[in-house]
């Protein structure tokens, strides 16, 4: 072999080593960037943060997914929030399929409930509610059955007097502010 061939061969090997080191470091930079991005997302700017937590009534599905909440549970929480207008207590989320005490504890690490009186009361039409929504509103199984029987018998719950007859005075007082007909 000639000297020039040996020099080219050594230069080629050195160039290969440099490329190898460059791409190896590039992957490390990517991994660091991903970790850095995830931390930034976890700390995303939100004027409603308190001690690193976010008001659960001001979140979207992405906020839940980023914090490790399963997609089905995240969708259930968003549906619950959409139907009822506001989450008054994180423990109330246990009525959602797939949410138990362990999930509630995980949610409590990242979210809190701010003053719910600041939110407008969402009026819910009792005649268009299904059993699941009634359960979310904390109607008892007996009350849900009574409401469904009333609807079968009379077609609809027409007014406050009907709801008072179905629930009784004490329970009627709890729900009268959020139910429309």
| pLDDT, tens only, 82-101 | 888 888 889 989 989 889 99
Tens digits of residue pLDDT in 15-67: 778 877 766 665 555 555 555 555 555 554 444 455 678 899 889 999 899 88
Alpha helices in 43-70 (DSSP H): 61-66
Give the residue from 54, 59, 89 showing the smallest Cα distance to 74.
59
Number of domains in the chain: 3
Q: What confidence score (pLDDT) does residue 150 get? A: 95
Q: Are 126 and 179 in contact (CB under 8 A)?
A: yes
Q: What is the Cα–Cα distance from 148 to 158, expressed in whole angstroms?
A: 13
Residues 6+ apart with CB under 8 A from 48: 54, 55, 58, 114
CATH number of domain containing 110: 1.10.150.320
Residues 6+ apart with CB under 8 A from 159: 181
Range of the domain at 6: 1-43
Same domain, 94 and 56: yes
Token reading at 142: 């007996």
């Amino acid at each position: 072999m000639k000297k020039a061939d040996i020099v080219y061969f050594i230069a080629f090997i050195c160039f290969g080593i440099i490329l190898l080191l460059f791409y190896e470091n590039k992957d490390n930079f990517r991994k660091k960037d991903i970790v850095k991005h995830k931390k930034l997302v976890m700390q995303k700017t939100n004027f409603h943060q308190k001690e690193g937590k976010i008001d659960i009534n001001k979140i979207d599905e992405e906020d839940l997914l980023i914090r490790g909440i399963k997609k089905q549970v995240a969708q259930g929480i968003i549906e619950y929030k959409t139907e009822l207008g506001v989450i008054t207590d994180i423990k109330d989320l246990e009525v959602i399929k797939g949410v138990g005490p362990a999930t509630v504890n995980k949610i409590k690490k990242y979210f809190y409930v701010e003053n719910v009186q600041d939110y407008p009361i969402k009026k819910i039409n009792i005649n268009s509610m299904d059993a699941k929504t009634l359960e979310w509103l904390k109607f008892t199984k007996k009350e849900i059955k009574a409401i469904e029987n009333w609807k079968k018998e009379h077609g609809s719950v027409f007014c406050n007097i009907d709801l008072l007859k179905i629930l009784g005075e004490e329970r009627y007082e709890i729900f009268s502010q959020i139910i429309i007909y």
